[in-house]
Amino acid sequence: MAFKFQGVDFLAFDSLLSEDEILVRTNTRSFIEDKLVPIIESCNRDGRFPKELIRPMGELGFFGATLPDYGCAGMNNVEAGLLYQELERGDSGIRSFVSVQSALVMFPIHAFGSDEQKSHWLPKLATGEKLGCFGLTEPDFGSNPSGMRTRARKDGDDYILNGEKMWITSGSIADVAVIWAKLEDTSADSSKEPRIRGFLVETDRPGFSAQDVHGKWSLRASVTSGLSLQNVRVPAANILPGSDGLKSPLSCLSQARYGISWGVIGAAMSCYDTALQYAKQRKQFRNQPIASHQLVQEKLAWMVTEITKAQLLALQVGRLKDKGKAEFQHISMAKRNNVWMALECARLSRDILGANGIADDYPIMRHMMNLESVKTYEGTQDIHTLIIGQSITGIPAY
């Protein structure tokens, strides 16, 4: 049996939020409870992404939520964080979809695109009429994106792209792909490292194909694809003019990682709340609820403490972000800590539910499997450790 979510606020966290921030969370929570929770277990079981929710999410302003124009909601970063929290409380795959559409497609178009590119794509992406994907990771290059093999060769007024991308959310349902490629040097001096630029590639162009990844035990309600670009010709007008080097896609990843740091709190809340309600009802040993036992209370106390700490960490990064003072190492700390916290909450919650914890009558095992992917993508736990390490020592250990 599933339980009605009761919320998690041990330390009066809501007192730190504005009325608008609470309203965003309330509205998103209602949408998740009404539209996603009733279908998510069957979607996960069937490996189906709920496309029917795309346009309703667009109508609510979920896509590109922090962008101030082009039909976007213009939320502050804390409001957007609470949005992601509630989405991932529903399912990591749904938050991933919104995160990619927003932080990895709409953000780079807004940050690096021409006026024509912004006007053409952003209003349609904001409503969900058009979908996008982000092509950075390759089969042989994940944590080291600078090693990418995808190339763009100038040919008259066009560019010809060749390469492979892997583990791409929304790849096979996207209308446009933000593809990162190295420019081939056609000059006499080819000793310099090729420059990385971003390209907007419409997915119906000849030579572009997407193949879905099957057999996933994680993010089953999300579309994950491999992309192939075989002599894909795009006009020079499709290059993102403001993109310049690896720092451009990495800035997009910082936007997405920030959303993850909030989103996983929602997954942790879902697991903790399920375990708490279950422990109060489940009776063992002298017909007492298992919540009366010390070992169970220790697990619950650990979870609510770590969730509270994660809330405060994400909130501070969000406040810094709204002031323009959040650095990438701050976001790495939030992503690293909060994903770890959420996974531990899922494991402890599964332990409290015993054998029932593995059944999809409850959301815990689904969250646990999803979080294993979230721990890896957008920078692994180890990579974020090294980012923080370099920040505090001044010494890169890559």
- For 295-333, write each residue's pLDDT tens digit: 999 999 999 999 999 999 999 999 999 999 999 999 999
Q: Which positions are annotated as active-site residues?
A: 378
Residues of the chain with CATH 2.40.110.10: 133-238
Show the tokens assigned to 144. Answer: 């080291």
Longest Cα separation, the chain: 84
Residues of the chain with CATH 1.10.540.10: 13-131
Rounded mean pLDDT of 81-85? 98
Domain 247-393 class, CATH top level: mainly alpha
pTM of the model: 0.96
Answer whether 263's CB lies under 8 Å from 88's CB: yes
**130-157 pLDDT tens trace:** 999 999 999 999 999 999 999 999 999 9
**326-382 pLDDT tens trace:** 999 999 999 999 999 999 999 999 999 999 999 999 999 999 999 999 999 999 999
Residue 271 is predicted with a pLDDT of 98
How many Å apart are CA 101 and CA 256, to the nearest integer? Answer: 10
Show the tokens assigned to 175. Answer: 């209308």
Residues of the chain with CATH 1.20.140.10: 247-393
Label residue 218 by pLDDT band (50, 70, 90). very high
Query: Locate tokens 């990418």: which residue?
Result: 148
Show the tokens assigned to 375. Answer: 């721990």
Answer whether 369's CB lies under 8 Å from 41's CB: no
Domain 13-131 class, CATH top level: mainly alpha
Answer whether 109's CB lies under 8 Å from 140's CB: no
How many Å apart are CA 146 and CA 361, to the nearest integer? Answer: 43
Residue 1 is predicted with a pLDDT of 59
Closest CA to 220 of 364, 76, 386, 43: 43
Residue 186 is predicted with a pLDDT of 61
Closest CA to 246 of 190, 193, 200, 208: 193
Label residue 190 by pLDDT band (50, 70, 90). low
Label residue 262 by pLDDT band (50, 70, 90). very high
Show the tokens assigned to 94. Answer: 């749904």
Rounded mean pLDDT of 60-79? 97
Q: What superfamily in CATH does domain 133-238 come from?
A: Butyryl-CoA Dehydrogenase, subunit A, domain 2 (2.40.110.10)
